[in-house]
Structure 1
Amino acid sequence: MNQTYFKNYLEQQKAAYDAIPIDRVEHFINLIKKCWEDDRQLFAFGNGGSASNVSHFITDLGKSASDRMGKRFRCMSLNESISWITALGNDYAYEDVYMRQLENYARPGDLVLTLSVSGNSPNVVKAVEWANAHGLTTMALVGGKGGKLAELAHESITVQDRHYGRVEDAQMTICHMLCYGFIDS
């Protein structure tokens, strides 16, 4: 690798950040605030790097934003329990690992946030389809291809890039904005 590669990478990352639709981020914050005000539950999930971003987001929202707001956010990452995920994947199918958890925990009026670069992960798509059919509000952060999630989710933000690393970085930035919208307010 040479410096030109890294400079180009950073320029493309900046372009992905500059294309984040701030009005949509604000709308997501308002949906999360309504969920909090109504004492509803927020469920989040993703795969791979998106799963890591979800874990980080739920930690920031559940701890730091809750500390600032004085009332706790009821939020849960569905990609945390390896025993849940492997039991569901083994006994049913891997595409059921998030949907089956929602069956246990979710109620109409709750909120779902999913992160996916491709927007086509079968386990995430199936969970969003289930959530839509059961009265939950669904939100998705997806990469430049959009995929099925961009169409299925009630609300979506598309990061205008197709590079997995850049999309995941931009998704985490959006997740930080969602949390710090409460922490810094």
Structure 2
Amino acid sequence: MEQLISDYTIKLTQALGMQAMQRVPALGGALREAWQAKRSIFLCGNGGSAGNAVHLANDLLYGVGLNNRWGGLKVEALSANSAVLTCLANDIGYDQVYSEQLRVKAQAGDILIVLSGSGNSANVVKALEMGNQIGMKTFAILAFDGGLCRSLAQHPIHFPIDDMQIAEDLQLMIGHICMQWLYANPIHEIAPRMSSEADQ
């Protein structure tokens, strides 16, 4: 057990030193812009990544807004509603459980964050395809070789590591880094433009 702890700690530390971490500020900046513009953020993934999507949606909705009277971000984990997931999987196929939700709910300028180890699961691949088609800003936090999602995401955050548990840890850590940065850098209300006699 002691050796596993040591090896795991080393792998996680090495991953945090990879160039992928240099792409995290772009995600944080996009989230802040969406927060200011009241645009929506959608997250999705499978298995543990689906759970991470739900976790981070909570952090962005509530945790970020604790320091801001305007509240947190408009965010939704597409993996959260079991009725929607099972309906779509049964009726049109599991590969479309996320893309169909985006087709209905998302708008140009919204943000999609895909969480995936392999980057090859059909449902997250189709989610990125739909997000790009709609005109969303698309991000993907990936491991292994990045799969198809690495080329589909406009902003891939790719860690070339062959460890799914480390990959899932990194998803949460990046989310938590963004959450803490947003909390410390809250948005401010944009005052409505006042009309003047010159406008009349």
Please state whether the residue corresponding to 1:75 is helix, strand or coil: strand
Alignment-mate amino acid for residue 82 of structure 1:
S
Is the 8 Å Cα contact of residues 117 and 164 (structure 1) preserved in structure 2? yes
- The TM-score, its normalising length taken from structure 2, stands at 0.87
Return the offset for 1:127.
Answer: 1.0
Shift, 1:28, TM fit: 0.6
Deviation string for 1:59-88 (max 9, x for gaps)?
011001022233231111100000000000
Partner of 1:105: 105
Structure 1 residue matching 2:41: 3-state secondary structure: strand
Distance in 2 separating the partners of 1:180 and 1:95: 33
Instruction: Note the C-alpha offset of 1:51.
Output: 0.8
**1:1-185 to 2 correspondence within 5 Å?**
2-19=1-18, 21-71=20-70, 72-185=72-185
Secondary structure of the corresponding residue to residue 109 of structure 2: coil
Q: CA deviation at 1:38?
A: 1.3
What is the CA-CA distance between 1:116 and the residue it aligns to?
0.2
Identity of aligned residues (%): 30
SS of corresponding position for 2:119: coil
Counterpart Cα distance in 1 of 2:181 and 2:46: 25
SS at 1:8 equivalent: helix
Structure 1: runs of 5 or more not aligned: none
Aligned length: 184
- The structure with the larger Rg is 2
| TM-score, normalised with respect to structure 1 | 0.94
1:118–1:142 contact (8 Å) kept in structure 2 = yes
RMSD of aligned residue pairs (Cα, Å): 1.3
The question of whether the paired residues in 2 share the 8 Å contact of 1:69 and 1:182 is answered with: no
Alpha-carbon distance between aligned partners in 1 of 2:160 and 2:69, rounded to the nearest angstrom: 35
| AA matched with 2:30 | L
| C-alpha distance in structure 2 between counterparts of 1:35 and 1:169, whole Å | 25
> How far, CA to CA, are the matches of 1:118 and 1:21 in structure 2?
16
Distance 1:89 1:8, change over 3 A: same
The equivalent of 2:188 in structure 1 is: none
Q: Is the 8 A contact 1:159 1:171 kept in 2?
A: no
1: CA distance, partners of 2:118 / 2:156: 13
Q: How big is the shift at 1:20?
A: 5.6
8 A contact 2:21–2:157 mirrored in 1: no
* Structure 2 residue ranges without an equivalent (≥5): 186-200
- Alpha-carbon distance in structure 1 between the residues aligned to 2:176 and 2:102: 24
**How far off its partner does 1:137 sit?**
1.0
Secondary structure at 2:145 match in 1? coil
- Mean alpha-carbon deviation: is it higher for 30-39 or for 15-24? 15-24
